[in-house]
With several copies, the nearest count.
Chain A
Amino acid sequence: MDDLTTYCENTWCPGCGNFGIFSAVKSAIKKLEARGVPRERLVMSAGIGCHGKIFDYLALSGFYSLHGRSMTTVQGIKLANPDAKVLTFAGDGDAYGEGLEHMLFAAKRNADITVIVHNNGVYGLTVGQYSPMSRKGFKGPSTPRGSIEEPLNPLAILLEAGATFVARGYSGKTEQFADIIARAVEHEGFSYIDVLQPCVSFNDTYKLYNGLVEAVAEPAKTREEAIRLAKRPDKIPIGVLWQERKEPFHGSLYGDWNPVAKRMPRAERVKIIEKIIRGD
């Protein structure tokens, strides 16, 4: 057990892609420390699902949130104290199902958060129902005759919504993925990583992905190109597909002010309020 791992018993299925994600995250934290971001500045949240268990296993502070809401929780943490570097772990059910709207708005407002979506194409923890990422024909207990829907392409949608950092990782390529995470955390603004994560119990995609993933050397030059990349029919590009610099939400909202660290003294507040009440 390393110093980034808690005492909690790990109950992911043997062989689960979440192990690769866990390693990559720990490696990214080390990288970030080496680059001057101490781990205590990192604050995490997680959704509910197999992915969410990373909250119990990873020795970072944070908030174990609700199914589909973990990206709002970290937005709150960031708004309260912009000194925090916040990241959240979500499932594909979480981020593209229950909480898709929050993702789009976090992208729209360029909230300075990092979202890592454990995309296993299934609702793992609730025993294998189809997710918004499941392929047509996927058989799960709520679609015993096969899903009749096409999967979403969340990268394209989030790019259209204005995401300023869009990447895809693969749990089977830990080091590349660790590097992506570190860059995502460093990016100021909405950083979004979709991670291909095989679920050995309900959607074992190791072979499929091993044959399809292809590293991209550098981000696309234009958003349109990034969208095209995200929609490639033949290969699955992994790496950072898009990055651009844009003022993050908390910056536009209050510059370098910090609500909890730079609280206005009470007496001053009270004086202003009395003026407001008097109507001057």
Chain B
Amino acid sequence: MDVFTFLVGGKAGEGVKKAGNAAADLLASRGLRVFQMDDYQSLIKGGHNFSVVSASMREITSHYMRANLAINLDARSYDIHRNHLAEGGIAVFNSDLVKEGEGVGMPFTSEAKRYPDPGLRVGLGAVATLAVAVGMSAEELNKFVSSAYKRGLENNLAYAAAIHGKASPLLGGKFKLEKGGKPLPMLYGNEAIALGAAAGGLDIYIAYPMTPASSILHVLASHSETLRLAVVHPENEIAVANIAIGAASAGARAMVGTSGGGFALMEEALSLAGMTETPLLCILSSRPGPSTGVPTYTEQADLKYALGQGHGEFPMPVASPGNSQEAFYLSAELLALAWRFQTPAILLTDKHTSESRMSVDIDASKAARPEPLMHSGGEYKRYLDTKDGVSPLLFYPSKELVKWNSYEHDEKGITIDAPEGIARMHDKRRRKAQTLLEYMKSQRTVNTYGDGDSVIFAYGSTTMSVLEAVRHGKLKAKVVQPIYLEPFPVWEMERYKGARSVAVEVSSTGQFATLLKEKGNIDIDKTILKYDGRPFEPAELAAQLKGAL
């Protein structure tokens, strides 16, 4: 079996996501590469949640929507997912809630009722059933539960054992999975962003909660003591951005994170960072918009928005990671870049990268680190008009005067309004943008994968879907993923001119395709769009790509 897919569906508050997590860990612990996608609604209890976990001996960068084993913990999930089966797939339903279901019935609820908090425990039933289906013994399951379900462990062990017993005759060893090599850890995109920035020297993280960026805050808050990080959740996003800018001006590597609506509130501060030349890394994790939109789903519709932020003219790099692993390194890299060029920088991502989880192989010591140009003594001028536009830094408290200024200013940071001074500082910032551009030309700004005459362009989370579709469909094509969207790596695009080109993105207007056309001068032959809040499904996308290539 190339890919094994497990799906678990049920109500929010019944441990569905936890079950997805545990299932992924279970498969990963056997040395498989795993991809986990959690689908949940904007509510706390009830409704319909599900997690899909796809695993393979090879690299895997997407879940599949046809499951080999689909376990539905309630009737609604059963109705929704009963047909989401791969060939030979097995549907398991909760026989307490679904009367005449097709597939294998398991009494998840009535078994759970023997213990306190039955609602919370049914998810574990799904995991135990998976364990049976992939041939784990009762002892192996026992060991796994001991590490994965520590809270209320005794009852958990008993419940899991009971389910194991009931499921074994029905499903025992139905799926023979190979055993892989050394197990890899798994990370959510947001965990990767948080830890990557920390590895890159983050000092302070300021954020106000907003899905799908909130978990960056949660992860960093939970590790703030061990990692020696300042983590603050203030009154609103305006405070977030301005506190972060203040902190950066005093030398702290600062980061903020939010989604579209909160990011809008930071826009004034982004322009402030542009003018004052404050290094600031902003994480923008998108969801379907406009406005409040669909908070817990995904979309790549904030590209133009990210590129157009902030009034006036100043350099601001924007980059988007293609998966969790890249997110780790990219957040450190952008932090370093922000400090190198004293600019705001945006890491653009979306729910699908932020809140999906995948196997990673990370060397944290390889994270980039900020090495800002520092003042080396003598009279200090905050905005020294250097050849490359980058002025040395000096942090207060200091004997020398250090003045950062949101007004147009002279080299010392004092406000001006005379024409020569205005033009001069515009020139300085433009030269800095030029220096940044030249620097980017020496950096990796584009990923390419595979080979073939045709080119598939994708960025951000959709890269994962495209790569998996190419694997699934065994497509002959080169996949090109611009990591940097600003400065847009036009110098890397030359070579793709004239090739048959397809652009793939989760957006209704094709903003990425427009960027490729307008900035990259690429003739896109076909644009494949999706905009229903869900990421591409690799098998479906493979079929679409086949038609387009």
A81 near B246: Cβ-Cβ < 8 Å: no
Given A61-B403, A102-B239, A142-B233, the answer on whether A13 and B45 have CB atoms closer than 8 Å is: yes
Q: Give bound CA distance, A109 to B11, whole Å.
A: 38
Q: Does B142 contact A (CB under 8 A)?
A: no
Residues of chain B contacted by A201 (CB below 8 angstroms): 13, 44-45
Q: Mark B214-246, 1 if CB is under 8 A from A, else 0.
A: 100110011101111111111110110011111
CB < 8 Å neighbour of B235 from A11, A45, A101: A101
A73 near B209: Cβ-Cβ < 8 Å: no
Q: Does B396 contact A (CB under 8 A)?
A: yes
Q: Give bound CA distance, A265 to B273, whole Å.
A: 27
Q: Give bound CA distance, A124 to B12, whole Å.
A: 14
Q: Give bound CA distance, A13 to B291, whole Å.
A: 25
Q: Mark A131-151, 1 if CB is under 8 A from B, else 0.
A: 010000000011111000000
B116 nearest CB across to chain A (Å): 17
A63 near B185: Cβ-Cβ < 8 Å: no
Interface size on B, residues (CB 8 A): 83
B44 near A270: Cβ-Cβ < 8 Å: no
Q: Does B80 contact A (CB under 8 A)?
A: no
Q: Does A1 contact B (CB under 8 A)?
A: no
A residues 43-62 with Cβ under 8 Å of B? Answer: 43, 45, 48, 50, 53, 55-56, 59-62
B415 near A277: Cβ-Cβ < 8 Å: no
Residues of chain A contacted by B390 (CB below 8 angstroms): none
Of the listed stretches B122-130, B149-157, B347-355, B404-412, name the one at the interface; the rest are far from the partner chain. Answer: B404-412
Q: Give bound CA distance, A231 to B397, whole Å.
A: 38
Closest to A48 in B: B292
Of the listed stretches B198-206, B530-538, B541-549, name the one at the interface; the rest are far from the partner chain. Answer: B198-206
Given A74-B246, A79-B247, A260-B252, the answer on whether A277 and B185 have CB atoms closer than 8 Å is: yes
CB < 8 Å neighbour of A279 from B185, B211, B272: B185
B403 near A50: Cβ-Cβ < 8 Å: no
Given A41-B397, A79-B230, the answer on whether A64 and B407 have CB atoms closer than 8 Å is: yes
Q: Does A242 contact B (CB under 8 A)?
A: no
B397 near A143: Cβ-Cβ < 8 Å: no
Q: Mark B126-153, 1 if CB is under 8 A from A, else 0.
A: 0000000000000000000000000000
Interface centre among A6, A62, A125, A257 (most CB of B within 10 A): A62
Q: Does B161 contact A (CB under 8 A)?
A: no
A259 near B204: Cβ-Cβ < 8 Å: yes
B230 near A259: Cβ-Cβ < 8 Å: yes
A83 near B406: Cβ-Cβ < 8 Å: no
A7 near B248: Cβ-Cβ < 8 Å: no
B236 near A11: Cβ-Cβ < 8 Å: no
A residues 243-280 with Cβ under 8 Å of B? Answer: 253-254, 257, 259-260, 262-264, 266-267, 269-270, 272-274, 276-279
Q: Mark B379-407, 1 if CB is under 8 A from A, else 0.
A: 00000000000000001111111111111
B217 near A142: Cβ-Cβ < 8 Å: yes
Residues of chain B contacted by A12 (CB below 8 angstroms): 43
Closest to B42 in A: A125
B395 near A81: Cβ-Cβ < 8 Å: yes
Q: Does B506 contact A (CB under 8 A)?
A: no
Q: Mark A58-90, 1 if CB is under 8 A from B, else 0.
A: 011111111111001111111111011000000
B residues 317-376 with Cβ under 8 Å of A? Answer: 360, 362, 364-365, 367, 369
A126 near B230: Cβ-Cβ < 8 Å: no
A105 near B415: Cβ-Cβ < 8 Å: no
Closest to A64 in B: B405
Q: Does A130 contact B (CB under 8 A)?
A: yes
A142 near B221: Cβ-Cβ < 8 Å: yes
Residues of chain A contacted by B251 (CB below 8 angstroms): 80-81, 260
A76 near B243: Cβ-Cβ < 8 Å: yes
Q: Does B103 contact A (CB under 8 A)?
A: no
CB < 8 Å neighbour of A266 from B187, B201, B204, B254: B201
Given A13-B45, A74-B246, the answer on whether A66 and B292 have CB atoms closer than 8 Å is: yes
A139 nearest CB across to chain B (Å): 11
CB < 8 Å neighbour of B396 from A62, A105, A202, A276: A62
Q: Does A212 contact B (CB under 8 A)?
A: no
A residues 165-218 with Cβ under 8 Å of B? Answer: 201-202
CB < 8 Å neighbour of B227 from A14, A83, A273: A273
CB < 8 Å neighbour of A73 from B46, B208, B245: B245
Q: Give bound CA distance, A253 to B206, whole Å.
A: 13
Residues of chain B contacted by A72 (CB below 8 angstroms): 234, 238-239, 242-243, 246
A61 near B398: Cβ-Cβ < 8 Å: yes
B272 near A65: Cβ-Cβ < 8 Å: yes
Q: Would you list 27 pairs from A and B whose C-beta atoms are within 8 A, ordered by A residue?
A: A6-B414, A8-B414, A11-B41, A11-B47, A40-B398, A50-B44, A64-B405, A65-B242, A66-B261, A67-B261, A72-B238, A75-B234, A76-B243, A77-B250, A80-B250, A81-B396, A83-B397, A101-B239, A124-B44, A126-B210, A129-B233, A141-B214, A141-B221, A260-B252, A270-B364, A273-B195, A278-B185
Please name the 5 residue pairs, one residue from A and one from B, whose CB atoms are nearest each other, closest first: A76-B246, A80-B252, A80-B250, A72-B242, A76-B247
